[in-house]
Amino acid sequence: MAQMASSLGSPRLLLRMGREAAQQQHLASGTEVQKVLRLAVGHSLDLQRTDGAWCGEVHSNATFTAQYVFLQQQIGLPLDPTEIEGLSRWLFSQQNEDGSWGLGPGLGGDVSTTTETYLALKILGVSPEDPRMAAARTSIIKAGSLPATRMFTRVFLASFGLIPWSAVPPLPAELILLPTLFPVNIYNLSSWARATCVPLLLIRHHEPLHSLPNGRHAENDFLDELWTKDIPRDFCYTTPLSRMWRLGDYAGIFFTSADHGFRFLGQYFNSPLRNLSRRKIINWILDHQEQSGEWAGYWPPQHNNIWALSLEGYSLDHPVLRRGIAAVKSFVLHDATGMRAQVTVSQVWDTALMSIALSDSAPSTGIISPTQAIDWLMHHEVASHRGDWRVLRPKLATGGFCFEEFNTLYPDVDDTAAVIMALIKSNPAHLISGCVRRAAQWILGMQNRDGGWGAFDWNNDKFFLNKIPFSDMDSLCDPSTPDVTGRIIECFGMMMAGRHGYSLDCQLENRLRASSQLAIAYLLGCQENNGSWWGRWGVNYLYGTSNVLCGLAYYYDRSSLSKGDGKSNSNIVSAVDRASEWLKARQHSNGGWGEGLESYDNAQLAGCGQPTASQSAWVTMALLNYLSPTDEVIQRGVSYLVRNQVKYGDESRATWPLERYTATGFPGHLYMEYDYYRHYFPIMALGRYVNKLSGSHKLL
């Protein structure tokens, strides 16, 4: 669908549309749906760990695996032949036909991803004469070669002497000393940017020079084949000031001028102030390491913190680095497909969503609520009184849940809302538990001034920080987003609705209601002209719109319109109607829904793309709140999910095919696919469909 505008009317497209139309003639019966659910739930139980949790692979692009190779080179850890073969095999398996590597399946080449992967493969011993390397080299040169790479890629290149450190913007270590009242300080950065950039302050200070297979050289020729006479080796890291002035980019002028000043003062940076800054950075890094060895549960901080501490003289035998390296290895998978590094791990997220799926499908399958998983989730409630969020919210009581298992410092409201719903669905008595109350109060305290929620931080919307020359991914902030806000009002709505005789106390209910009204005002204000909502953490408008519709269902009352009951409800009904019509118009003739990653760069492709199981499930769940289960749109969506289930192993287990990426890390820069998205979201959708069809459906 992403290419439909250019191929509409072609014989190939017409043939495909004909096949889709033929496929959707058969609508699934209730018996078929229940059988599909039993097969899927059986597979879910097989996937469950012995401790009750679930954790699927997080698929992403080749850069993190390439950086795993860089890290071994930077800290002097040799790879054995089995690792070299596994890494090389997996990296080549991700290569596009034109020789490039992209940000995700179906996307074209990305020069930074291709450059990092090419360098990693050369370090692993692959000859540049290999035809696959020759194709990669052509792709890199065609895209502008090393000067066209992103800042993080340049840091790696400079650390091996492949480009000068002058091609990388300065990051003064003194940034760690700036107070929170100052506009530029580390706590105005998003959690992921902060955890990544703090160790980079040390790395940038040291300007390390590491060895490559051909030795250690300040002007290493290891990648000389990527240079041509048309590509200047002496290149700058930012737009010239004169061009910024013509464009009116005054924030960019300020930060670039400041960078030039820091570079000029660099000769004085062995001062007592610099040494104080380094000690403070080291202490910050040590204070933010988990007992498991992880930092923030995310690859870049893992890599950068180990690298930075090694530059400060920490030996590989030091307990901090031993734990850190062990944590890095826990991110690495090695199987028949090869060896690769994950960008993150998703134990809490997967366990919460799989638990919701099993609860939604329980009336159809007879499988009891996932009590062991619920106990595991409750055990992972954040009890630490530390955490970066507390710097700006010092009086807010501890609560909430993190995305990963070994993460106590970075809870996020999205995971917290998902866990609350998992607990309530599994056992209504959890509604009045201390765990749910603490989590809800923490979410309330993290609501932004605009009524919405970001993921990890409070009022983290200093967008001028994206003008810092080091920021070329526009991801230094964590502002309110519709998809996160939609999930939270769904959670609050579920709590306020009560269940099986359990209800909230009046004080908490009133707080949730007031908070929800502010959130709804935010959502109504950011609805797109076509009726959709943008998705920050899932692809893309299908995700955002579905999350919001699932949330608004608790506040939607069409019957009150005839009574003239309130302008607020009228606005909600209007917004829901527009969004529902947009979703219905995006349904494929085969009953499914899909959207490609391209929509982040071209909004005209919103809701367009090859159908996937997870995206079809999102939309089906959203529309089930407003349409009859016998509505043709719902019937076709359900039939798509039934028809596309595939057997897994023997005949008693089934799942859905591995699909295009449907999860987002940084729009336009990092995309992912959580392996279990294709499994638990269809279970949720089909379970809710059967429940509503049988008359036992409630919003929760």
Query: Do 590 and 612 contact (CB within 8 A), yes or no?
Result: no
411 burial (CB, 10 Å; 0-12 / 13-18 / 19+) is buried
Nearest to 495 by CA among 517, 521, 513: 513
User: Smallest Cα–Cα separation from 491: which of 626, 401, 394?
Assistant: 401
Closest by CA position to 468, among listed 190, 233, 270: 190
Residue 524: is it exposed, middle or buried by C-beta count within 10 angstroms (0-12/13-18/19+)? middle
AA letter at 212: L
Work out the number of other CB atoms within 10 angstroms of the CB of residue 278: 20
CA contacts within 13 A on the Cβ side of 202:
26
d(CA 419, CA 352) in angstroms, rounded, equals 5
User: Which residue in 3, 197, 218, 205 sits closest to 106, CA to CA?
Assistant: 3
Degrees to nearest 5, angle at CA 61 with 16 and 193: 130
The 3 state secondary structure assigned to 383-399 is CCCCCCHHHHCCCCCCC
- 79 Cβ contact partners less than 8 Å away, ≥ 6 residues apart: 69, 72, 87, 124
* Per-residue DSSP letter, 448: -
- CA 584, chain centre distance (Å): 26
Pairing mode, strands 646-647 and 338-341 = unpaired
Is the separation of the CB atoms in 504 and 429 below 8 Å?
Answer: no
Q: Are 111 and 63 in contact (CB under 8 A)?
A: no
- Dihedral sign for Cα 339, 409, 614, 689, please: positive
Residue 334 — left, alpha, or beta (φ > 0 → left; ψ -120 to 50 → alpha)?
Answer: beta
Taking residue 221's Cβ as centre, other Cβ atoms within 10 Å add up to: 13
Among all chains, which residue has been given the structure tokens 């769904």?
A: 490
Q: Which one-letter amino acid corresponds to residue 14?
A: L
Does 335 participate in catalysis according to the annotation?
A: no
> Any bridge partners for residue 671, and if so which?
664
Measured in degrees and rounded to the nearest 5, phi and psi for residue 368 equal -70, 165
Q: Measure the CA–CA gap between 622 and 549, rounded to whole angstroms.
A: 6
Catalytic residue among 414, 457, 478, 483: 414
Rounded Cα gap, residues 538 and 536, in angstroms: 6
| Spatial separation of the C-alpha atoms in residues 184 and 465, rounded to whole Å | 7
Structural tokens at position 420 = 């609350």
User: What is the Cα gyration radius of the chain?
Assistant: 26
The C-alpha angle 541, 544, 549, rounded to 5 degrees, equals 115
Distance between CA atoms of 85 and 83, rounded to whole angstroms?
5
Angle at alpha carbon of residue 431, lines to 453 and 416, rounded to 5°:
30
Active site residues: 414
